[in-house]
Amino acid sequence: MSDPDPGPGGLPPTVSALMERLRQGPSGLGTTSLRFAPREQPPTAETTTVATTEQTSGRPAPGSPIPGLYHHPVPEPDPERVEEVGRRIKRWAVDEVQAYPPEWEDQFDGFSVGRYMVACHPDAPTVDHLMIAARLMVAENVVDDCYCEDHGGSPVGLGGRLLLAHTALDPVHTTKEYEPAWAQSLLADAPRRSYRSAMEYFARAATPSQADRFQHNMARLHMGYLAEAAWAETEYVPQVAEYLAMRQFNNFRPCPTITDTVGGYELPADLHSLPAVQRAIALAGNATTVANDLYSYTKELDSPGLHLNLPVVIAEQEKLSPKEGYLKAVEVHNELMHEFEAAAAELAASCPDPRVLRFLRGVAVWVDGNHHWHQTNTYRYSLPDFW
Amino acid sequence: MSDPDPGPGGLPPTVSALMERLRQGPSGLGTTSLRFAPREQPPTAETTTVATTEQTSGRPAPGSPIPGLYHHPVPEPDPERVEEVGRRIKRWAVDEVQAYPPEWEDQFDGFSVGRYMVACHPDAPTVDHLMIAARLMVAENVVDDCYCEDHGGSPVGLGGRLLLAHTALDPVHTTKEYEPAWAQSLLADAPRRSYRSAMEYFARAATPSQADRFQHNMARLHMGYLAEAAWAETEYVPQVAEYLAMRQFNNFRPCPTITDTVGGYELPADLHSLPAVQRAIALAGNATTVANDLYSYTKELDSPGLHLNLPVVIAEQEKLSPKEGYLKAVEVHNELMHEFEAAAAELAASCPDPRVLRFLRGVAVWVDGNHHWHQTNTYRYSLPDFW
């Protein structure tokens, strides 16, 4: 039996149709609240084609998507919300947690956290809900910058720093004599101040199960950072499969998986932990994380030492040119996206609980919004000269 | 208003009474299945007194409890079950996963995993249920020994090794080309073979939420290992509060928190994640982990380099003699135990769901069984000469 003809983007038409239903939201009695708020249009289902041979050659124009990258364009994020989140997140970072010194203000502005969060969470009922995601996103970047990468980070001793910061998310329960020193330690540096405050706001809006889920995903993230750091310190270049395993942990996963808290509802823990749901989440996280490797490729080439990313690891381990490694990494991304969409469509058919559908739609839209932010963030990213 | 007179072990009588109810199991219609299986007697509520002044001086006799350590004696574990678990776990370790080479057989036997697991899980319905816990316990020790400590472990590069091993518990979802290399990697060494097989058996018996809980607790454990490794590598001696924070992660927590799976029931995820339940679990885990520091004190003094444990860190940071540091660490343990019992008793009163009660009882009994194993494992442990 041959496969049915592929639809747009190479998906069989039944899968495309299911994904379309997932994107647009369920219909029928009692499901109105599961649609995106009326102010936002649902993302279009338009997809780019995968054929790279039809692209023009040279370096794509700034703000263009990566040629051949399978993705879904999103509507321009609501400018009023973007501005309001941008204004409030800067007040939080500067006044509430002193997340960065004045000389990093350009970088903070260049990060465009308002546009990022509004693009990724079009179904947030209010700006307060968007702020939950915005604080955590900034806090995660402060930790990464200060402990791991750009601003004084180092792989040496990282395990101790990340664990103490993790206790701002997952509190220590200890004796009366030692508890105050621990509580005080959470104010000792910008990463811990940021985590502590962002988690406090998050936990106020989340159920205990959602808080537990977030802690788990942050523990995964920190394990991923520590694997990457171990390899940097020992100058180990992993096999491609090992790199992809590490990148499932050093991953955006904590961000799309708060989509229900930011949306003002809950995917119950027993549904969230189903293996099929976990698989869909992992594939989405992996696709969107590989997209980050692709958009940050030239930025990371400029950083000191060998910065591992998927194109570099493929080129190194499979004896390919940088361009061939990059283009193969694009294919890896596209397969992960297709696998995610197939897994989500299967779930939509086999487990049509409206909360599962809305959550999967939220994850899918987060992936699209994350792509949009990377594509359009010309302050941070530029593409290589591979076409 | 003054506090009521303390009961045995310094607990107010109302708390003692609640804990007694928790230990004995609930009564009333429909709760029979929540009692321990009739073959086991419930642990006695007899406690040691905390006064160290009444102890004889010198080194306690082999197999004695630490003088002044607040604990609950348990009945001798059922010898038939001990023997059967011991026989089956050795077959699994040798034949199924090749967990250790023949020359480590003495150490494996000396670990007495059968006695350990039967003492910790008196309510397991069958030996099959005990085997779920036994395999995970052995696997966790293989990882710790081979990657971190006694058998060729090292802090250098540990983050990479632990992450790849963690994927045996929390699977990678990747492309068709790279998936086989990842699956093959899980057979590449004893730690990964052990984790993979033990998790497979566990996941067959667990609900998806219980599997998620276990993954989360193992991620915590691995973060704890990595903090300890970072401090070893940089020769950093943490503050006592920092050490206790690390030890909440590098902690027995994964073991008592599978008590419901091993008991053949489920504490639902929404109850498990309640902050009050999380606090009780953390306190129990911290108490039982500090007890490990105390029983392994002389063993760790003999290991190369400065092996951090609570008595050593207290002595170092608070300018105390080794004996004073040790005795203060005993007090820390006792306070954590009392705090756990107070938290559990409060929960029993405020949230008397029979599954919460049985789970808390299971955690409490695990703590008691873990103490019993440490106390009586004279192959591994001996006490210092501090009395």
**Which residues of A fall within a CB distance of 8 Å from B170?**
220
Q: Which of B175, B219, B278 sits opposite A220 (nearest CB)?
A: B219
For residues A248 and A332, membership in a common domain is answered with: yes
Over chain B, what is the mean pLDDT?
Answer: 88
Domain CATH number, residue A252: 1.10.600.10
Chain B residue with Cα closest to A181: B241
In the A/B pair of chains, how many CB contacts fall below 8 A? 218
d(CA A333, CA A330): 5
| ipTM computed for the complex | 0.90
For residues B329 and B249, membership in a common domain is answered with: yes
Q: Which candidate, A81, A49, A73, places its Cα nearest to that of A367?
A: A73
Chain B residue with Cα closest to A214: B216
For residues B338 and B257, membership in a common domain is answered with: yes
Report if residue A47 sits inside a domain.
Answer: no
Asked if residue A131 lies in contact with residue A201, where contact means CB atoms within 8 angstroms, the answer is yes
For residues B257 and B199, membership in a common domain is answered with: no
Report if residue B59 sits inside a domain.
Answer: no
Q: Average pLDDT, stretch B5-26?
A: 54
* Lowest-confidence region among A4-18, B47-61, B117-131, B225-239: A4-18
d(CA A158, CA A165): 11
Q: Is B108 helix (H, G, I), strand (E, B) or coil?
A: helix
pLDDT in tens, A61-92: 999 999 999 999 999 999 999 999 999 999 99
Q: What is the pTM of this model?
A: 0.90
Answer yes or no: is pLDDT of A374 > 60.
yes
Report if residue A262 sits inside a domain.
Answer: yes
Q: Cβ A245–B220 below 8 Å, yes or no?
A: no
For residues A129 and A259, membership in a common domain is answered with: no
Q: Which of B178, B212, B224 sits opposite A241 (nearest CB)?
A: B178
Domain carrying residue B138: 77-205
Report if residue B368 sits inside a domain.
Answer: yes
Q: What is the DSSP letter of A385?
A: S
For residues A248 and A200, membership in a common domain is answered with: no
For residues A199 and A247, membership in a common domain is answered with: no
Report if residue A231 sits inside a domain.
Answer: no
Question: Residues near B351 by Cβ (< 8 Å), separated by ≥ 6?
Answer: B271, B274, B276, B277
Cα angle for residues B271, A217, B171 (degrees, 5° grid): 100
Of B155, B189, B205, which marks where a domain is finished? B205
The number of distinct structural domains making up chain B is 2
d(CA B255, CA B198): 13
Q: Which candidate, B176, B301, B317, places its Cα nearest to that of B244?
A: B317
Report if residue B65 sits inside a domain.
Answer: no
pLDDT of res. B39: 31
Handedness of CA A25, A26, A29, A33 (dihedral sign): negative
For chain B, positions 337-356, list CB contacts with chain A under 8 A: 339
d(CA B194, CA B143): 8
Report if residue B25 sits inside a domain.
Answer: no
Of B151, B186, B205, which marks where a domain is finished? B205
For residues B104 and B154, membership in a common domain is answered with: yes
Burial class (CB in 10 A: 0-12, 13-18, 19+), A2: exposed
State whether residue B52 sits within 8 Å of chain A by CB. Answer: no
d(CA A54, CA A387): 10
pLDDT in tens, B107-166: 899 899 999 999 999 999 999 999 999 999 999 999 998 998 766 678 889 999 999 999
In which band, very low, low, confident or very high, does the pLDDT at A52 lie, cut at 50, 70 and 90?
A: very low
Report if residue A256 sits inside a domain.
Answer: yes
For residues B192 and B285, membership in a common domain is answered with: no
For residues A172 and A81, membership in a common domain is answered with: yes
Question: Residues near B85 by Cβ (< 8 Å), separated by ≥ 6?
Answer: B113, B114, B117, B118, B127, B130, B131, B134
For residues A365 and A290, membership in a common domain is answered with: yes
For residues A155 and A261, membership in a common domain is answered with: no
Burial class (CB in 10 A: 0-12, 13-18, 19+), A28: exposed
Q: Which of B181, B223, B236 sits opposite A157 (nearest CB)?
A: B236
Answer yes or no: is pLDDT of A206 > 90.
yes
Handedness of CA A10, A11, A14, A18 (dihedral sign): negative
